[in-house]
Amino acid sequence: MEQGLLTVDCGAVVRNWRRLVARHAPGAVAAVVKADAYGLGAVPVARALQAAGCAHFFVAHPSEGEALRDALGDAPMIAVLDGFAPGAHPRLVPVLNSLEDARAHAAAGGRAILHLDTGMSRLGLDATEAEALIANPAPLARLELLFVMTHLACADEPAHPLNAAQAARFAALCARLPAAPRSLANSSGLFLGPGFASDLARPGCALYGINPTPGHPNPMEPVITLEVPVLQVREIPAGTTVGYGASWTAPRASRIATCAEGYADGWLRALSGRGFGVLHGARAPLVGRVSMDLTTFDVTDIPGARAGDMITLLGPGQDADAVAALAGTIGYEVLTSLGRRFTRRYVAA
Ligand SMILES: *Cc1c(COP(=O)(O)O)cnc(C)c1O
């Protein structure tokens, strides 16, 4: 093996989806597979979920939606969160993110999802636009409104008052619009309680093993393993420095394993001097700066370590959330940064 190996367990993704389905019943559960299913591979992940019964998928860009449609056939709903011009993608469902979107798509007709902004100030009709639509809902009559949706800003902080405020705003607006199915919770929203149930939840991260309940045990099953090859192991005397900036100095005679992954592969440079890899069942601390294509680990205490070994960087013992905490980011960014140079292996569901 000359490059890293990213193993994605599609069975684990399906089991995570089923867990959320059981939690959210009788409401349905979609799969958010934007950004190539958070870096894991949208086509194999979505195919496994479709085979398990998932009928609703969300992507961010129309191009992602078209590629997914080619892979999944005609059956499932594929919605595009960023929206698109009327008529531009007949096989996809636009999310209408403004009053102007709603009016433009109404002229063309067809299926759509209406997005109300209740606290993100990002996409979706703001309060003024929502009132205008309530006052004149005629455009909606010309659309097949599959869902009215909103997106929670603080679902990963259960005690945040914005959660209940957004749910209340959403319910109040929906009650004054023509009746349509509703879509509310993301992954963390599924764990906020019955007030956050809807006709369609939209989880992403939890499907991929990220903890939707930060600070509590992870209710989801791990999905990915990342192993990268050791290219070389060398002995250095005490006092020798390692890597750019000479940021680490060997405190004793040491053995350094240089591995074939770096920040160009999404092993964030902020991980310099932090964390570890697992080799022969033992932890090898990451030492020195993360380079573009290489990372160095201290294997002094792992006598069997040698070139050709695979060192595990992500797995059940060190998940994306833990690595993210070391890098000062979130698991989502660790997953979506995973590079294109890894060989991807999919374990069938
Ligand atoms: C990304 C996204 C989701 C999924 O969020 P997770 O936190 O990954 O579950 C749901 N809805 C919208 C609008 C999104 O942008």
Q: What is residue 201's three-state secondary structure? A: strand
Tell me whether residue 244 is one of the annotated catalytic residues.
yes
Residue nearest ligand 1's atom 12 by CA = 151
pTM: 0.96
The pLDDT value given to residue 2: 80
Ligand 1 atom with least separation from CA of 203: 9
**How many of the other CB atoms lie within 10 Å of CB of 26?**
6
pLDDT band at 1 (very low <50, low <70, confident <90, very high): low
Average pLDDT, the chain: 97
Is the separation of the CB atoms in 67 and 43 below 8 Å?
A: yes
Is the separation of the CB atoms in 232 and 62 below 8 Å?
A: no
> How many angstroms separate the CA atoms of 349 and 347, rounded?
7
Q: What is residue 310's three-state secondary structure? A: strand
With residue 182 as reference, give the H or E element that holds it: strand 182-183
Residue nearest ligand 1's atom 4 by CA = 204
Say yes or no to pLDDT of 296 above 70: yes
Query: Of the residues 34, 49, 81, 182, which should be mutated to test ligand 1's pocket, given the most ligand atoms within 8 Å of the CB?
Result: 81
Ligand 1 atom with least separation from CA of 151: 13
* Sequence-ordered list of residues with C-beta below 8 angstroms from that of 302, at least 6 positions apart, any chain: 255, 279, 280, 282, 284
* Sequence-ordered list of residues with C-beta below 8 angstroms from that of 184, at least 6 positions apart, any chain: 149, 150, 152, 167, 170, 196, 197, 198, 201
> How many angstroms separate the CA atoms of 145 and 264, rounded?
42
Taking residues 182-198, report their average pLDDT: 98
- Determine the distance from the C-alpha atom of residue 338 to the mean position of all C-alpha atoms in its chain, rounded to a whole number: 11
Ligand 1 atom with least separation from CA of 32: 4
The per-residue pLDDT for range 40-68, each reduced to its tens digit, is 999 999 999 999 999 999 999 999 999 99
Say yes or no to pLDDT of 317 above 70: yes
Is the separation of the CB atoms in 270 and 328 below 8 Å?
A: yes
Taking residues 210-239, report their average pLDDT: 98
The pLDDT value given to residue 316: 82
> How many angstroms separate the CA atoms of 10 and 158, rounded?
29
Ranges assigned E (strand) in 26-140: 28-29, 31-32, 56-59, 77-80, 93-96, 110-115
The per-residue pLDDT for range 298-315, each reduced to its tens digit, is 999 999 999 999 999 999
Is the separation of the CB atoms in 202 and 54 below 8 Å?
A: no
- Ligand 1 centroid–CA 315 distance in Å is 23
- Ligand 1 centroid–CA 203 distance in Å is 6
Is the separation of the CB atoms in 1 and 229 below 8 Å?
A: yes
Residue found under tokens 């599959």? 146
Q: Which is the catalytic residue, given 34, 208, 263, 346?
A: 34
- Show the ligand 1 pocket: residues with CB < 6 angstroms: 32, 34, 81, 151, 186-187, 202-206
